[in-house]
Amino acid sequence: MLPTRRARSDLLLLAVSLSLAPSPGLAAGSEVPPELRTRAEASSFRATSTYAETLDFLGLLQARSAYFQLGAFGTSEQGRPMPFVVVSKDQAFTPEAARRLSKPIVMLQGGIHAGEIDGKDALLLLLRDLALGLHPAVLERVTLLVVPIYNVDGHERVSRFNRPNQDGPEAGMGFRTNASGLDLNRDHLKLDSAEARALIALVNAWRPHMHVDNHVSDGFDHAWVVGYATAEAPQAAPSIDAWAKANLPPVAEATRSAGHPIGPYLELLSNDEPLKGAITPPYRPRYSTGYFALRNRPSILIETHSHKPFRTRVLGNYTWLGALLEQVASEPSALVEAVAAAERRTVALGVADAPASDVALRYGPDRDDPAAGGCKLLDQTIARTKAAGGIDILGQGTGGMLGVGHQPSVERALQAVAEDDIHPGAEDDERGRQEPGVDQGQAGPDRQAPGRLAHSFRT
């Protein structure tokens, strides 16, 4: 049946109001041109943008703003160009030009685990806001290096069932690993994958002052939407740790005040006994969170809560990223100086006749001692640097010699984990390679061993 004239005009009004919906970041009454709505927005957050749609969208932003440049930093194993965006009011679109500015270079990354894709959709909203004139202080004082989809091949391997415990996007999401089954968030040191080699080459060229890695959690249930963690001292250099402790709490508060519940990213002390509590562990350098700490950068992990709806997660993620950039822009020299101080310290520790320093070669929390709340260390190998070069192995240690069994600022031993909130999972092997066919970040109930509660908590 054809609509009546009245119905047609109502439909027209509806279409106009939908196409000019305000951006979540724009003031009330401000409008987003229809072509600058992201796929997530246009689909009412039923879908995430494809690789091609993402490139098209970034191309539109580049055409609109003289401060955007879209490029590729490598080629994936299946031959896809790996996109990145530089946002610079100075048009400092090369590493050399950007480093000459003495402004902080902030690297924001989405889709290292391509099924956990909220970060990309949040980054597209944030980049759109910047192109429309929001966050003027950020544009003025910070250079952005944005990798919207790191694992581009995994991103295009779409299924609604790749992460069965994740609440959307209901139209489907990409896959955890690259085309060879390698988990890129286990590949920062061995660099087996073409993608990781390209990413580290990008980092080596640009030397960003901060790295932010966006994920979605694997099922630990809690009230808050946005989980976050960062490497702390002694894993992080003292100046980096001080920067994070001064600057991340205001970011969390701004996110919370904007209506997005936020809390720590946690892992269970025991996968079999969730009531033992939870910690935020120090991540080894094969993970991004450990790798960028090793390179003397604030290394920030975001994990939106997989049980929350896609829209809720993306908007929380986006609000957090915007607040973080505003915080950096409020005192840009503080970040640059913190990184410079950390690098000077590393060089000083390595020169001839440097005072000996202790380093933990291996460490881990005592997951079997609930009284210690994960704070007691075991399996700790301590080495001491020698003035003439090299190291002496001092032997095994236990106790809090270096205090690296957990991230100290995180509340220990949260006891509120209900057993029926726990979902089963499976561990990857040491090389980070996984079986084909299932995103093992979230294995389904059929993988649960009878009579056993298990869980995989991954970043």
In the complex, the residues that contact Zn ion under the rule CB under 5 A are 113, 116, 215
Structure tokens belonging to residue 400? 């809090």
Do residues 281 and 266 make contact, with C-beta atoms less than 8 angstroms apart?
Answer: no
Structure tokens belonging to residue 194? 């073409």
Structure tokens belonging to residue 219? 């099922």
Nearest-approach distance from CB 232 to Zn ion, in angstroms: 20
Q: Which is nearer to Zn ion, 47 or 112 (CB)?
A: 112
Nearest-approach distance from CB 176 to Zn ion, in angstroms: 7
Q: Which is nearer to Zn ion, 285 or 370 (CB)?
A: 285
Cα–Cα distance for residue pair 288/304, rounded to 1 Å: 17
Nearest-approach distance from CB 7 to Zn ion, in angstroms: 47
Q: Which is nearer to Zn ion, 105 or 422 (CB)?
A: 422
Nearest-approach distance from CB 456 to Zn ion, in angstroms: 11
Alpha carbon 10 to chain centroid, angstroms: 43
Nearest-approach distance from CB 398 to Zn ion, in angstroms: 31
Which residue has 């990409």 as its token pair? 174
Q: Which is nearer to Zn ion, 120 or 215 (CB)?
A: 215
Nearest-approach distance from CB 199 to Zn ion, in angstroms: 15
Nearest-approach distance from CB 196 to Zn ion, in angstroms: 15
From the CB of residue 33, how many other CB atoms can be counted at a distance below 10 Å?
A: 12
Q: Which residues contact 261 (CB under 8 A, 6 or more apart)?
A: 223, 224, 225, 226, 316
In 185-243 the beta strands, taken as DSSP E runs, fall at: 210-216, 226-230
Q: Which is nearer to Zn ion, 212 or 335 (CB)?
A: 212
Q: Which residues contact 133 (CB under 8 A, 6 or more apart)?
A: none
Q: Which is nearer to Zn ion, 116 or 241 (CB)?
A: 116
Any idea what the Cα angle at residue 25 is, between residues 22 and 26, rounded to 5°?
50
Cα–Cα distances (Å) from 147 to 77, 82, 119, 122, 202, in that order, read: 17, 8, 10, 12, 10
Cα–Cα distance for residue pair 387/243, rounded to 1 Å: 30
SS3 assignment, position 156: coil
In 305-368 the beta strands, taken as DSSP E runs, fall at: 358-365
Q: Which is nearer to Zn ion, 58 or 216 (CB)?
A: 216
Nearest-approach distance from CB 440 to Zn ion, in angstroms: 11
Q: Is the dihedral of CA 289, 189, 76, 219 positive or negative?
A: negative
Do residues 267 and 168 make contact, with C-beta atoms less than 8 angstroms apart?
Answer: no
Q: Which is nearer to Zn ion, 115 or 365 (CB)?
A: 115
